[in-house]
Amino acid sequence: MKRILPLLLTASCAAPQSQYGMEDAKIMTQDPEKLHAYFMDQIRGRDFANAHNYGLAKGARAALPYEQFYFVIQWELVQRMILGFEQHAVDVKGAAGTVTWCNPEFGLSRKYRIVGMKIGTKTFWGYDFTRDELQELKDRAFEWFGRQKSAADGRLYTYPPDWRYTPLGGACGCRR
């Protein structure tokens, strides 16, 4: 019994797994509309390597090595911000385009570039994030945290995971 308890405890504390596998990555990254669902699933499952390798465009991966991507994405607060993004618009023209992401909880609305890369007869899409854009997400998340802390008179409280915090904005930018 003493040997089984640590195994059960370890299994119950494991991070959520991604629901999409490698074959799904090949299919979902061919559609700019489905790229959002795939990328969010990889972040939710804490599979940052696949989010980096299959969710980012080739140029973004070259300009933003995995270590730098991980350094920003590792923060739970940044993950919460990213996972709260809703995709409102996808505008594709040729092999490039933009997506509009909004997060009403954080009062954030942004357009991000997406780039398609042709391999054979298929086009695979990826987000063309820059270091500055990811750093802005991190800075915005910590700014939000500071506002939450000051609203609580400098105290830090522990809330359940499904708790909804005080939003910075009433609605996202594309709904105003």
Q: For position 141, what pLDDT does the model report?
A: 87
Asked whether residue 151 is domain-assigned, the answer is: no
Q: Considering the domain boundaries, does residue 131 fall inside one?
A: yes
Q: Is residue 44 part of a domain?
A: yes
Report DSSP state, residue 15.
Answer: P
pLDDT at 23 (0 to 100): 64
pLDDT of residue 13: 47
What's the number of domains the chain is made of?
A: 1
Q: Helix or strand or coil: residue 133?
A: helix
For all residues of the chain together, what is the average pLDDT?
A: 80
Residues of the domain holding 142: 18-146+167-175
Q: What is the pLDDT of residue 150?
A: 79
Q: What is the pTM of this model?
A: 0.76
In a domain, 67, yes or no: yes
Which mean pLDDT values do the consecutive 10-residue runs of the chain (176 residues) have?
A: 46 53 71 91 92 92 93 90 91 92 86 91 91 91 82 65 57 55
Name every residue whose Cβ is closer than 8 Å to that of residue 116 and which is 6 or more positions away in sequence: 32, 92, 94, 95, 96, 97, 123, 124, 125
- Domain at 113, CATH number: 3.10.450
For residue 129, tell me if it sits in a domain. yes
The 3-state DSSP class for residue 21 equals coil
The angle that helices 32-44 and 48-55 make with each other, rounded to 10 degrees, is 160
In a domain, 2, yes or no: no
Q: In the prediction, which pLDDT does 83 show? A: 92
> For the packed helices 48-55 and 66-73, what is the interaxial angle rounded to 10 degrees?
120
| Residue 12 within any structural domain of the chain | no
Question: In the prediction, which pLDDT does 128 show?
Answer: 94
154 within domain boundaries: no
